[in-house]
Structures are given as C-alpha cells and as structure tokens.
Amino acid sequence: MDITTERAAAHRLRVEMVALPLASGGSPTRELAALDAATGGRLLREIRKRSADPAKRGAVSIYQTHGFLPAELIAVLGVGTASPAMGPDDWRRFAGQAVATAQGARVRSLAIEVGGTRSDGAVAAGAAVEGALLASYRFAGFRKAPSSPALARCVISGAPGSRAAAAAERRARIVAESTCLARDLINTPAELMTPAHLGQAAVRMARRHGLRVRVYGPRDLRRLGMGAILAVGRASRNEPRLIEIVHRPPRARGRHVVLVGKGITFDSGGLSLKPPQAMEIQKRDMSGGAAVLGAMAAIGRLRLPIEVRGYVASAENMPGGDAYRPGDVVRTCIGKTVEVLNTDAEGRLVLADALAHATRGRTEASRPRWVVDLATLTGAVTTALGRSVAGVMGNDADLVRSVIECGRASGEPIWELPLVEDYVPLMESPIADLKNTGDGTAGTIFGGLFLREFVHRLPWAHLDIAAVAFTDKPQPYVPRGAVGWGVRTMVALVEKAAAG
C-alpha cells in the first residue's frame, strides 16, 4: 500500500473513503464539522441516529455522501478518549482501524484525517503513518493464488508541512517497516527459518543498512566455549548460530549499549517434549531475536549517534540421539556450569552464553552502558499478565523505568515483576553452579534470576515477551500472526540513550 501525506483536508481529496476520529465527551473536530456542514448536517445526525455511543473506542459509523463530496464514503471512528488531545497510540489505533475499515469496504483509496484536533500535528501525522503501515501488513505466505487487499493508496491528510512533521513521518516509516521485517522472520515456517537462514537474513539486512555483521557457526561457538548454545542445538541437523550486528557511527556518544534476543527457530521442548498443540506455534520462539534484528535495521537507517551491538542466540531445540538430557551439566562461556533439569527451559541457556559474551570487557570503557534482552521465555508470564502486557525485570531501577516509559510511548505496555532474592537458593544445584529451573512456581521470575547471573553486574533488563509476541486475533494495527513486539520499544530506548 502506498502511503503519502498531504496538508489539504480530507474532504478536498479525491479518494473513495475519508476516515475521521470522534472522541468521547468532546465536540467534533474542525474537519468533521466541515464535513457535516458539506452534507447539510446529515452526517452527524445520521451517525447519532444509528449508534447510542458513536465515540466509543472501536465504534465504526459509515456514511454514503451521495455526491455531496468527492469521496463516496465517510467513516467516523470512535477513539474513546475524553482527553483534550489524542496521544500517539490513539492515533496509531485510529489509523489502523481506518485501514481495516477501508479494507472491509473494499475501497482502493483512503484519506485518514489528522488535522483539526488539539493534538500535536507532527506527532499525530507520524503516529498515523506508523499505524497505517503496521495495519496494512500481510505476510506473503505460500498460497497458490494469494489474495491482494483492495486498498492500494492511503493519504494522511491535514498533516503539517513542518520539518518536525517530516522527521516524524520518516521515523514512523522506518520503525514500521523494521517491525514488519521482524514479523516476516517470525511468520516464516521453521523448515525455512533455520538458524543458518536467520543468520543469512541478518547479513542481508546489515549490508543493506550499513551495519557490521558476523555470524558465529558451530566451530566458532566451540572456540568461544559456548557450551550452553551448543547443547541446546546439538540434536538438530540445523546447527546453532550466534549473530552479532554492530551499528558504529563515526561520532558515537559515550559507551555502547547492547540488545540481545532469543532466537530459537523451533522449540519442540527437546527430550522434555511439548504436547502437540503447544508445538504448533513454536516457530515464534525466535521472536526476541527477530525484534533485535528489526530494531538494529531501524537504528542503522536512523543513523543514531550511539554505538549499538545486537546479538541473537539461535538454535533448534529438538529431540534425538544426540540431544542433551535432563540431568546433564553444561558449561557456559564464562565457565559457570548449569545442571539441566528441563530441556524445555532452553531459552535461558542460549541467552546465558549470549549475555555473558556481550557484556564481557577487560576495561570499564569496553563494557556496555547497559544491556536489554528480549525472549519468549516462559508461559508463566501469560498467567501473570495476560496477553496484552510484557513483563520486565532488571537490576537497575533507572533502566527498567526507561524500558517501561519507552514501551508506553510506543504502544507496547510493560509491567515490572520483582527479582525475589529469597528465590535464589532454589536455583542451587548439588553438582553445578546453577540449575535451569526453580521449584515449579514463579517461572517468569526464576527465568529473570537465572539470566541475571550472566550480565557481570552491569545495568540490565530482561523482557519476557512470550504473551505478546504473537496474536490469534487481529488488533487495531496488528494483523493475526507475528506482532514484531519490541522493535519500536527498543528503538525508542536507544534513541533515549543517544540523547542522554
């Protein structure tokens, strides 16, 4: 879908549908009032006749203009907010709903009106571009005759012509396209998206955007002593990889920062085998790694003035004659040993090697300012927080607060869970430094406590995105399937680090 911005108001554009927001408890926007006047007062009268609460979030009212305007249809969409100004996520949701409404009506051109409100015009235009692009995403898939959506052209109308608006629109495009890159990686079947293919995708992306990249194969992993990644991946014919991507601008500000992602391209559970129904969706277990690759693509394109290093620990966790077993002890790259009690708790093992490798440094200057990891780590986080909120834990209050704030601004809600010190003794092993599970309770917290052991006491935050990485039900700007969750939050977090 082609998306452009125009300063002209929506009712002046030759499109098939015009979409406008309607907020609760407020008067119609200037543009909606103009449209109502152009229809002789019929528009709002008709909308209020059809619905008791047309401003309720998610409400859709469609009006045929009968030749009064260039557009054939007007869609008035309830945004639900009673505040004087819509925030960025209100605009994303509105634009996403507008795209879905236009696709449902099978129109080919749409104008999304962002002018005439009390919102910051640049913010509104950027968020609307982002929401429309994210909502229009479709995975190409493997159908013999893929269906193409009717909507071909979208105009963000009423956008200011300022430099701030142009910058916001450019950033929105980059971030949305990078999120869709992550979605593509996650949605690709595991038979195609192996660790080697994920590494190749990273190389193509990095070269396209001027990033440095290195993919460590099995021989490199053995040389580095990464026994945890090697153990998880050794039963699969698709051997593991560690992907390293570096954004190093000419004039980087301060010490570098690190993003780490779990990249299990398929998780059968290993010898601790998952039930069949749980296995159907395990291609998504590399969502954290895909988010890191998407974020690095955006960071490179935005040319942020800070060095950023991204790592993806990738393996297939399979059963087989060479599989690692419950009761085995694996040695990580820093020499710390782990007794494996459950081979389905493999994400923390591959992340242990990646985190330890990413945060090592001989001097203070060579170590990162902070490190954040993303992983579909535990099903327990869904029990704790449901399917709309990710969990975060960390050893640095300022970093955790920044992650939560950036998630809120990006439309990716995050809630902090505690690292309970009383639980640490429950990870002690009689034969190794640690065991990879706790006592069967508080699984998400045990995962965080385990990972904390491998960050060399640097400022660190862990995001458990198992509940939010994939959706079976379409959301305002998220079609069914991979969400690409975390790309936008990580970009915002790195931007904050670059600014400060």
- pLDDT one-digit tens code per residue, 95-110: 999 999 999 999 999 9
170 within domain boundaries:
no
β-pair partners for 338: 330, 434
Token couple for 19: 């979409």
For residues 137 and 197, membership in a common domain is answered with no
- Residue 83: its pLDDT value, please? 65
Q: How confident is the model at residue 273 (pLDDT cuts 50, 70, 90)?
A: very high
Distance CA 45, CA 40 (A): 10
144 is catalytic: no
Of the residues 274, 367, 408, 452, only one is catalytic, namely 274
For residues 308 and 345, membership in a common domain is answered with yes
Residues 6+ apart with CB under 8 A from 435: 338, 339, 340, 341, 427, 428, 429
Q: How confident is the model at residue 26 (pLDDT cuts 50, 70, 90)?
A: low
Q: How confident is the model at residue 33 (pLDDT cuts 50, 70, 90)?
A: confident
Domain count within the chain: 2
Distance CA 44, CA 54 (A): 10
50 is catalytic: no
Q: How confident is the model at residue 256 (pLDDT cuts 50, 70, 90)?
A: very high
- Residue 117: its pLDDT value, please? 78
84 within domain boundaries:
yes
Higher pLDDT, 362 or 295: 295
- pLDDT one-digit tens code per residue, 455-482: 999 999 999 999 999 999 998 899 999 9
For residues 211 and 270, membership in a common domain is answered with yes
162 within domain boundaries:
no
Q: How confident is the model at residue 23 (pLDDT cuts 50, 70, 90)?
A: confident
* Mean pLDDT along residues 300-324: 98
Looking at every residue in the chain, the average pLDDT score rounds to 94
For residue 40, what are the domain limits?
A: 2-156
Of the residues 241, 283, 284, 348, only one is catalytic, namely 348
Higher pLDDT, 140 or 190: 190
150 within domain boundaries:
yes
CATH number for position 96: 3.40.220.10
- pLDDT one-digit tens code per residue, 368-404: 999 999 999 999 999 999 999 999 999 999 999 999 9
**pLDDT higher than 70, residue 84:** no
Q: How confident is the model at residue 44 (pLDDT cuts 50, 70, 90)?
A: confident
- pLDDT one-digit tens code per residue, 141-167: 787 765 666 899 999 999 999 999 999
Q: Which of 165, 161, 155 is nearest to 5 (CA)?
A: 155
For residues 119 and 147, membership in a common domain is answered with yes
What strands, in cross-sheet order, belong to the sheet with 241-247? 212-216, 241-247, 308-317, 257-267, 371-375, 460-464, 390-394, 414-416
